[in-house]
Structures are given as C-alpha cells and as structure tokens.
Amino acid sequence: MKGKLVIFTAPSGAGKTTIVRHLLNKIDLLDFSVSATSRRKREHEEDGKDYYFLTPSEFRKKINNGEFLEWEEVYEGQFYGTLKSEINRLWEEGKHIIFDIDVKGALNIKNTYPDNSLAVFVKPPSPEILFDRLSKRGTETPESYRKRVKRATLELTYENKFDISLMNDVLKTALQEAEKIVGDYLKIG
Ligand code: 5GP
C-alpha cells in the first residue's frame, strides 16, 4: 500500500526545515522527499541528502523527460522540483513521505494526491519577524535576501489554501504541535 504524504510548506525563513528535521528524528516511518534543485549547494548541505544538486541544464533535461511530479522556478533562475522516482523509491520502502516545499509545489502535490496527503502551512508570528529571521540566518546575499522577502510576501497570502496552519513563534511549542498534528494524521504515538 502507498504511504501517506505529509507536506510542510511556508515562506522561506518561517522554520519549516527545522520542524521537518525534528519530525524525521521522531517518527521512524517517515522519510524525507529529497528534492532536486539548480541552486548552489550551501556549505553544510550534502548532495543526495538535502537536495539532488543539478546544473540548470540537467534540471531542464529532466523537465523535458517528464521526470518531475512538480517543479517550480521558486526564485529567478533557481529551479526546485520533486522527482517521481523519489516518491516511488520511498513508497517501495513502505515509508510515509514528508515534504519541505514551496506553496505552489505543495498545492500541486495536494491536488495530485487529495486522499492521502496533509498540507501544513507554517506561519511566522508576523511578516516583520520573518524578514528579521531571514536576514539573521546568514545564508543570503543582499540580492538573494531581496528576492526571498518578495517571494515570502506572496507566500504569506497562501495560508488559507492548506489543511492546517501551524504558528512558529516559540520553536519548542511549534515542534510539539507539529508532532501531534503528524502523529494524529499517521495515527501513531
Ligand atoms: P531553499 O533554497 O531555502 O532550500 O528553498 C527555497 C524554497 O524552495 C523553500 O520554500 C523550499 O521549501 C522550496 N522547495 C524545496 N524543494 C522543493 C520542491 O521540490 N518543489 C518546490 N516546488 N519547492 C521546493
């Protein structure tokens, strides 16, 4: 039987990656959908673990071959996408799958698998707090920070399109709530 899909989405900087990592540590039957991207690898990231890092032309080739379940140009010139092969690999291992994905990709996956997916929107306490977190993260250049703020402003308007909103104000509380939401959905714990 195919496992369930747990989709975490949020504006960049809202903390969804931290929440997804926490859930992966806590819930054995859950595994991470490693996306493909054409953006540059950050120092602490590992190819095949955080992302499959592709060149723009490798990425385009996979689009043309129909290898993606969904893909988006999340930032200008930076592509991100979910490979069909990744989902099948995890399902064959008997896993439920968790996604860390942008709002449009999340809606795509939700619409493709409406009966076995849960989409959770992680929201910051306020847009100002989000922009502040993003600037303190130290991963962005002034140009990429500007792009992310613009994108996050759009993404915040998507909140009511998802099954559940999860406020990430105090991280510890957000992690507990995330465990409860996902545990209930998978009927574990
Ligand atoms: P980052 O560059 O910070 O790792 O990710 C930028 C944005 O792209 C985040 O919102 C992240 O969740 C999203 N993203 C990551 N993988 C995918 C994917 O496979 N598809 C889509 N549509 N978005 C993704």
Residue 189: DSSP 8-state: -
Going through the chain in order, the beta strands assigned E by DSSP cover 5-9, 30-32, 35-37, 51-53, 68-75, 78-83, 96-101, 117-123, 164-167
Going through 23-66 in order, the beta strands assigned E by DSSP cover 30-32, 35-37, 51-53
**d(CA 35, ligand 1 centre) in Å:** 8
CB distance 35 to ligand 1 below 6 Å: yes
Is-contact 103 164, C-beta < 8 A?
Answer: no
**d(CA 188, ligand 1 centre) in Å:** 28
How far from each other are the two terminal CA atoms of the chain, in whole angstroms? 21
pLDDT of residue 1: 59
- Kindly list the structural domains of the chain, giving each domain's residue range(s) and its CATH number in brackets, ordered by start: 5-183 (3.40.50.300)
Is-contact 3 94, C-beta < 8 A?
Answer: yes
Q: How many CB atoms lie within 10 A of CB 9?
A: 26
Strand-by-strand arrangement of the 30-32 sheet: 30-32, 96-101, 5-9, 117-123, 164-167
Look at ligand 1, atom 20, and give the residue with the nearest C-alpha: 81
pLDDT of residue 136: 86
Dihedrals phi, psi of 114, to nearest 5 degrees: -65, -25
**d(CA 71, ligand 1 centre) in Å:** 9
The contacts of residue 72 (CB under 8 Å, 6+ apart) are 79, 80, 81, 102, 104, 105
Question: Which atom of ligand 1 has the smallest separation from the CA of 16?
Answer: 12
CA atoms within 13 A on the CB side of 4: 16
**Residue of 8, 17, 37, 85 to test ligand 1 pocket, by largest number of atoms within 8 Å of CB:** 37
Integer Cα distance of 68 and 10 in angstroms: 21
User: What does each of the 189 residues of the chain score in pLDDT, given as a tens digit?
Assistant: 589 999 999 998 899 999 999 999 999 999 999 999 999 999 999 999 999 999 999 999 999 999 999 999 988 889 999 999 999 999 999 999 999 999 999 999 999 999 999 999 999 999 999 999 888 888 888 998 998 899 999 999 999 999 999 999 999 999 999 999 999 999 865
**Residue of 20, 32, 74 to test ligand 1 pocket, by largest number of atoms within 8 Å of CB:** 74
Look at ligand 1, atom 5, and give the residue with the nearest C-alpha: 12
CB distance 50 to ligand 1 below 6 Å: no
CB distance 12 to ligand 1 below 6 Å: yes
